[in-house]
Amino acid sequence: MSSDVSLRAGFPAVRLRRLRRTPALRRLVAETRLSVDDLVAPLFVADGIDAARPVPSLPGVAQHTVDSLVIEVRRLSGLGVPGVILFGLPKPEDKDASGSHALRHDGITQRALAAVRDAVGDGMVVMADTCLDEFTDHGHCGIIDPTTGDVDNDATVALYAGLAVAQATAGAEVVAPSGMMDGQVGAIRTALDASGFADTAILAYAAKYASALYGPFRDAAEVTIADGGDRKGYQQDARNRREAVAEVVLDVAEGADMVMVKPALTYLDVIADVRAACAVPVAAYHVSGEYAMVKAAEERGWIDGPAVALEQLTAVKRAGADIILTYFAGDVAEVLGA
């Protein structure tokens, strides 16, 4: 059509580059803003160690003592990071078939939660990973049914309910069930309400995939799945996308206050779908393998690590995540807060 400017001689069709010319212009028109406010730092605390122990496959991450954990939480708080999620690691001799140490009121996660809550009060959101794999001697996320050899869903859910109450009692404001058992969110909500913890929130690991990207986490948490096993019988299959929406819808119906997609970068499509399918805050977990790949390539001088980290986390936000759990939380807070 003759009214179409693109057809007028000498006029380029569009000039999208105009708005990219200066940092100020780019800042003004940016569609996505990654902020320190979006970040949650995953932290490990180990029983029976007397000094923090670096995790070789997660450079910059350590297994903390309760004391060093509190120092790290204070540092993150000072950088403006709003939340932490704690993973307690028992002494190897305290692991058993049902992960019983996890539920003890004087267990490592509960002691760490109490110490951290004591240090930061309501100044930071203190979350607990609600799972048993760190505490079971077979490394699965629940109890094994002796007849089938699989994780027994309902018996495990009953333990998660007790675990969530123990964590809330110790000071967790948010419990985050990560075992992918059916019905876990509803059972935890019921147990929390019945125990006087109606205000304790649930962040459901709703769409958690059986990923090969959890390797460094299992180093950090000293989890080995017995007999070379895997979690494909309870975590999601990487080939499935719609199924994630089904998981999220169920978890929200059961009372999830926030839902999570995990891992992040290999599931950006899932994050976008989940964002569209529900109204609660959506978290994404940029997991250990995602972090380790950036660190390893950076160490070899092959990529600009901090720039790649920012690009990856921005992509996770752009896909629709409101909250990002990342081992880069402290590093990114230093860059963004500067």
Binding residues for ligand PBG (CB under 6 A): 129, 131, 133, 178, 214, 217, 231, 287-288
Of 160 and 197, CB closest to ligand PBG: 160
Nearest residue to ligand PBG by CB is: 217
Nearer to ligand PBG, 106 or 230 (CB): 230
Active-site entry in 91, 95, 232, 262: 262
Residue 320 CA, distance from chain mean position: 15
From the centroid of its chain, how far is CA 316? 13
Eight-state DSSP code of residue 260: E
Q: How far is the CB of 288 from ligand PBG (least distance, A)?
A: 3
Q: Indicate the residue among 225 and 308 with the shorter CB distance to ligand PBG.
A: 225
Instruction: Kindly list the distances between the CA atom of residue 275 and the CA atoms of 85, 256, 267, 270, 287, in Å, as whole numbers in the listed order.
Output: 22, 14, 12, 8, 19
Which distant-in-sequence residues (6+ apart) come within 8 Å of 174 by Cβ? 83, 85, 125, 126, 127, 128, 200, 201, 202, 203, 257, 258
Q: 189: how many CB neighbours lie within 10 A of its CB?
A: 22
The one catalytic residue in 208, 232, 295, 317 is 208
**Least separation, in Å, of the C-beta of 131 and ligand PBG?**
3
Which lies closer to ligand PBG via its Cβ, residue 119 or residue 297?
Answer: 297
DSSP 8-state symbol, 251: H
Cα separation of 215 and 31, whole Å?
33
Residue where the block lists tokens 């380029």: 12
Q: Which is nearer to ligand PBG, 125 or 176 (CB)?
A: 176
Helix (H), strand (E) at residue 80:
none
Please work out, in degrees rounded to the nearest 5, the angle formed at the alpha carbon of residue 180 by the alpha carbons of 177 and 183. Answer: 80
CB of 87 to ligand PBG, least distance (A): 7
CB of 231 to ligand PBG, least distance (A): 6
> Is-contact 229 144, C-beta < 8 A?
no
317 flagged as catalytic: no
Q: How far is the CB of 221 from ligand PBG (least distance, A)?
A: 7
Is 208 a known active-site residue?
yes
SS3 content of the chain, % helix, strand, coil (to 5): 45, 15, 35
Residues annotated catalytic, as ranges: 208, 262
